[in-house]
Amino acid sequence: MASCTGSFDPLLPVSGVNVDSVLGTESSKTTEDADLPECLELGGPASDIHLALFEALNLYRAENGLEPLIYSQKLEAVADAHLQDTWNRDYFAHINPEGQEPGDRAFEAGFCHRYVGENLAAGQRSVESVMKAWKDSPTHDQNMLREGYVYVGMGYFEDPLGRKYWAQSFAYDVP
């Protein structure tokens, strides 16, 4: 059975702080910016499946008049590790058993900040089917089409029985 868990949005109220103003999400960086911090770890996806997910997401964003996201290998590593962890410890959630949210896990792994959103899914057999599941879910769709996101990393894991797990880790610009 295929499933999605509710998307995780780091902009839900955080002690009354306006995260958009804190992050200054109106600036846009490109991979050509020479002074980008190493904590972004920009580069290409690790596998053909990660690449197909990335291309499908950016195509969907373009179809909706949005800028493409820039790929972060650091966010990919965080997404892959979370999917592996959910399988290893038999849970399926954005918040791990220790209470870490996506941004906590990303920051602990060396990403630049904690303002990270996440889409998770499991059981879909192809990039097309997981993208359809996320598009059909309003909260997942909002994450994919959020204008403020700048960086993304894709996660993919297949368990020993062939069940596939999928993730998208989104991040705002570096403050």
Let me know: does 74 contact 109? Beta carbons within 8 Å: yes
3-state secondary structure of 28: coil
pLDDT band at 89 (very low <50, low <70, confident <90, very high): confident
In the chain, pLDDT over 70 holds for what percent of residues? 80
Query: Can you say how many angstroms the Cα of residue 1 is from the centroid of all Cα atoms in its chain?
Result: 22
The residue-averaged pLDDT of 124-132 equals 98
DSSP 137: S
pLDDT in tens, 8-46: 545 433 323 233 333 333 334 444 445 778 889 899 999
Answer for the pair 64, 56: CB distance below 8 angstroms, yes or no. Answer: no
| Number of Cβ atoms within 10 Å of the Cβ of 20 | 13
Instruction: Identify any residues that bridge with 19 across adjacent strands, giving them in sequence order.
Output: none
What number of residues does the chain have?
175
Contacts of 147 (CB under 8 A, 6+ apart): 25, 66, 67
